[in-house]
A and B are shown apart, each in its own frame.
Chain A
Amino acid sequence: GQNIDQPTEMTATEGAIVQINCTYQTSGFNGLFWYQQHAGEAPTFLSYNVLDGLEEKGRFSSFLSRSKGYSYLLLKELQMKDSASYLCASLDSNYQLIWGAGTKLIIKP
């Protein structure tokens, strides 16, 4: 079956760094997406990885290991506005997105 696992909830402190992990098992693999979703809003695209390694975009970085079926989203210099849910989604062999349940990130002052 197809499965995406990520922690349900994480708490971090303003100014700190947090890493949100995601493991996936899908029928084929065509890339891994991360989305941010603030409460009551639609998801917004953060990053896409299809090759192994780290992709950096400002305060956010995303890592992929295809051999391990593993990705993480790294958020640096955390700000209160980063409090949101972070959704991991794997693109399977049919180019269909398989979504994780999301990680709710709580930032404390």
Chain B
Amino acid sequence: SAVISQKPSRDICQRGTSLTIQCQVDSQVTMMFWYRQQPGQSLTLIATANQGSEATYESGFVIDKFPISRPNLTFSTLTVSNMSPEDSSIYLCSVGTGESQPQHFGDGTRLSIL
């Protein structure tokens, strides 16, 4: 399966700042997704990153708060904007090669906001 590199692996940020998380894949993939996982909780889909167009956001997530870029088939970024302590979570990118194919995950970014 594809090798997925996610950076940074962890960060501690100040309230009100923004952080951009990068996801790089070693091969072209059809689909890229961004998830959030609160401690002890399951995965919540933030958005589907679409190559060359605006991301598709899930209910409860908006572009102003979580802008996403996907300039090509191997790279995407998620920005967490104007952070508050409630944004402390693990953020995961995943990739898929087809609709019925399994998603594979990056190692995640552990984000803490003070």
Size of B's binding interface in residues, CB under 8 A: 16
The answer to whether B42 and A100 touch across the interface, beta carbons within 8 angstroms, is yes
Closest to B102 in A: A45
Chain A residues contacting B99 (CB-CB under 8 Å) are 30, 91, 95
Q: Mark A33-53, 1 if CB is under 8 A from B, else 0.
A: 100000001111100101000
The answer to whether B41 and A45 touch across the interface, beta carbons within 8 angstroms, is no
- Please tell me which one of the listed residues B1, B41, B102 contacts residue A48 in the complex, with CB atoms under 8 A apart: B102
The answer to whether A99 and B43 touch across the interface, beta carbons within 8 angstroms, is yes
Per DSSP, chain B at the interface is loop
The answer to whether A97 and B45 touch across the interface, beta carbons within 8 angstroms, is yes
Q: Mark A70-102, 1 if CB is under 8 A from B, else 0.
A: 000000000000000001000100011101111
The answer to whether B100 and A99 touch across the interface, beta carbons within 8 angstroms, is no
The answer to whether A43 and B41 touch across the interface, beta carbons within 8 angstroms, is no
The answer to whether B107 and A41 touch across the interface, beta carbons within 8 angstroms, is yes
Size of A's binding interface in residues, CB under 8 A: 19
Chain A residues contacting B100 (CB-CB under 8 Å) are 30-31, 48, 50, 91, 95
Q: How far is the CB of A79 from chain B (nearest CB, A)?
A: 23
CA distance A41 to B103 in the complex (A): 15
Closest to B41 in A: A101
B104 an interface residue at 8 Å Cβ cutoff?
Answer: yes
The answer to whether A102 and B45 touch across the interface, beta carbons within 8 angstroms, is no
A33, A42, A95: which has the most chain B beta carbons within 10 Å?
A: A42
15 additional contacts, CB 8 Å, given A42-B108, A101-B42? A30-B100, A33-B102, A41-B107, A42-B105, A43-B92, A45-B104, A48-B100, A48-B102, A50-B100, A91-B100, A95-B99, A95-B100, A96-B45, A97-B103, A99-B43
